[in-house]
Structure 1
Amino acid sequence: MRESLVPVVLMSHTAHIRSHRKPRRNGSTLAMRAGVAGGVLSTLAVAGASGSANAAESSTTQTLDLSALTADLATQIAQSADATQQAAANYELEAERDAAAAEAAQQAKTDLADAKAKAAAKKKAADEAARKAAAAEAASRSSERTTLSASTSTTVSAPASGSVATVIAFLQAQVGDAYVMGGTGPNSWDCSGLVQAAFKQAGVDLPRVSSDQSTAGTPVSLSNLAVGDILYWGSAGSAYHVGVYIGGGQYLDAANPSKGVVIQDLSGYPATGAVRVL
């Protein structure tokens, strides 16, 4: 029998060792890797461009925001300056008003002081004038009473009882008293009140009013008057004024509010008639 021949495959002595060389890459793999690399680069480029654009936009926005902020700040500063200026003007105006008010108050105070001083001076002058007038009036009364005393001492021929002298003395003591309508003494009189009081000192009760006193005694003519006769003005029974004859062409009466009790001449104010009581 023939032996079967088994083919023998001869192998290199290094065939069992894996090759140290890198296996070759086929074209498709390389192309794919190249595309990936290109895409990555493209992405990076786009990203970079986008970043640059965003940076530029951000820079522009920041610039715009800064400009707007600067403008707002300038506006606020201007408004603040205006407000400060207005406040200063208001303070100045208020200060001027306060100064004017203070000046007016001071002037008013000065005017008031001047007015008080003038009033005091005027009052002092008025008091001095009143004092002098009172002194002059007192001197005049004294003179009148002296004159009356001198005239009556030579003209009165009083009866032994002294009734007429009593009437004249009482009348003389009232010279200078005031005239008051309805007055009956002791310091103010009207005409009939004085005559009634004078004759009462001599014990004679006369009526109160002039019209009744004009008919209370015996009628006498004005050419035959005697000291103590009652003179009247107006018609007998309706006389409006009375006085007492004191001799020497004079009479004493409570004349009027401006004269008071005085001595007067008949020639200046002639009586209408007369009556004699004592």
Structure 2
Amino acid sequence: MSHTAHIRSHRKPRRSASSIVVRTGVAGGVLSTLAVAGAAGYANAAEAEPVTQTLELPTLTADVATQVAQSADATQQAAANYELQAERDAAAASAAKQAKADLAEAKQKAEAKKKAQEEARKQAAARATRNAERTVLAASASTGASSTITGSSSATGSAASIVSFVKSQVGKAYVSGATGPSAYDCSGLVQTAFKQVGISLPRVSQDQSTAGTQVSLDNLQPGDILYWGSAGSAYHVGVYVGDGMFVGAQNPSSGVVERPLSYDQPTGAVRVL
């Protein structure tokens, strides 16, 4: 018996040729099947129409640009409208303020006009009274009655100086506020006349009408101060020069004149000398 008879061989047993052939056939069949299927799939894919999908992306067209421009115009117009409205509101406020000021001014003018009319009415009433008195005097003169205005007709001393001065100013101009030597107003003439004899009189008619002793019109003397209106609120003054005459700075159209008392009957007189 061989010494290797019981030693198992280390070689793998060979497969039979038939088994290998079968397996090779199966594998080849599978591969053939896959190849046919793949070819068929490729052919089908080649014959089918391609599938496409279109995505519409927004584009900036002329209409969109117009809309954007119109929106900008609308915004600008709105801003302009706001600004215009603000200007109108400011103008309305200014107009209301001006209207209020005009109303206040109109009220002031109306009040001033009312006062002027009242003063004119008072002066008209005073003139009417003087005219009535002149009518009475004229009637008395026509019946031979003596004048209600009497007194000394001749001036002496300081009175003569005053009379001489005022007569020498006759014909000069009347200028409001003037005190000579080329022009006077009524109280300026009286004040300057008395200054010639060292007597200082107040400047205005109202004060001059109360500067001396009140005397009646039927007891006048040359040099007496005549006034028109009431004592303390006289609106005109002059100087009695005797013989029923007076000298005064009447108005801008007449200037300084010498007139009879009947020309404009005074309402009172004061004596300073």
TM-score of the two chains, using structure 2 as the length reference? 0.44
TM-score of the two chains, using structure 1 as the length reference? 0.43
